Amino acid sequence: MRSPQAITAGEPMDERVEAFLADVMALEGEEANAIRKAVRIALADYAQIFRAQEVNKRMKEKAAHACHALCRARVVEEMRLRKETTTAEHLKLVLSVIDGPRFP
């Protein structure tokens, strides 16, 4: 499993992460609450895929955490590529869901 830092080194992104990005990009234009719900579901689904594909039982939770970090990093990268567009605004909403609620 690659670390999020591998993304900046120019390595190709994990196909599962690209599929997650495609899923959340397809939500653009939907109502905000529907986007939030769908992103939470997609993130949970992909974390489950990462867990299932990890052969080492002790590493399954780390695989799910890596999924979360990789998906977040990919959304941030796409936001950078699409800055000052409506898609970037959509991705900000996606990122807020990935980051979860903030408590003081």
pLDDT for 101 equals: 79
Domain ranges across the chain: 5-99
Across the range 83-95, mean pLDDT stands at 95
Sign (positive/negative) of CA torsion 78, 83, 86, 92? positive
Confidence of residue 14 (pLDDT cuts 50, 70, 90): confident
Determine the Cα–Cα distance for residues 59 and 20; give it in Å rounded to an integer. 21
Per cent of the chain over pLDDT 90 is 82
Residue in the structure block whose two tokens are 């994990």: 14
* Under 8 Å between Cβ of 71 and 20: yes
The tens digit of pLDDT for each residue in 32-70 reads 999 999 999 999 999 999 999 999 999 999 999 999 999
Angle 63-70-35 (CA atoms, 0-180°, nearest 5)? 110
At 26, give phi and psi (nearest 5°). -65, -15
Which residue did the predictor score with more confidence, 14 or 8?
Answer: 14
